[in-house]
């Protein structure tokens, strides 16, 4: 059952310059499987100059925990590990809602 406070995650990964295409391909290949995971409300990939940012929203802590051990994530990190310039930066965030609530927070 979804909680009232979904969990938002921002995961940032920087590809080595020669590996940008390989990282992009591996990331995009993982998306469909992750979208099918229970509790996935948002799993959106963005890129700027070889830095890849996943913006994620999970229904609850259990969904995020399941995602962390899912086959798609194991395969993704197995494929991109050697292609990254440093470790991924993964942050779990809490919304600070201000202004128009419909525009001030992510929602599933």
Task: Give the single-character DSSP code of 58.
Answer: E
Give me the residues paired with residue 40 across strands. 58
Q: How confident is the model at residue 108 (pLDDT cuts 50, 70, 90)?
A: low
CA distance linking residue 69 with residue 1, whole number of Å: 19
Give CA–CA dist 11/69, Å, rounded: 16
User: For the chain, which residues make up each domain, given as ranges?
Assistant: 7-93
The whole-angstrom separation of Cα 50 and Cα 33 is: 23
| pLDDT exceeds cutoff 60 at 2 | no
pLDDT digits (tens, 9 = 90+) for 43-93: 999 999 999 999 999 999 999 999 999 999 999 999 999 999 999 999 999
Q: Does domain 7-93 have CATH number 3.40.50.150?
A: no
CB 38, CB 66: distance < 8 Å = yes
């Amino acid at each position: 059952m979804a909680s009232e406070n979904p969990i938002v995650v921002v995961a940032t990964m920087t590809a080595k310059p020669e590996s940008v295409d390989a990282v992009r391909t591996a990331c995009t290949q993982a998306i469909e499987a992750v979208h099918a995971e229970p509790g996935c409300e948002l799993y959106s990939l963005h890129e700027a100059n070889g830095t890849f940012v996943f913006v994620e929203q999970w229904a609850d802590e259990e969904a995020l925990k399941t995602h962390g051990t899912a086959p798609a994530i194991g395969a993704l990190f197995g494929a991109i590990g050697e292609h990254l310039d440093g470790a991924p930066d993964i942050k779990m965030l809490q919304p600070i809602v201000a202004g128009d609530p419909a525009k001030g927070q992510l929602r599933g």
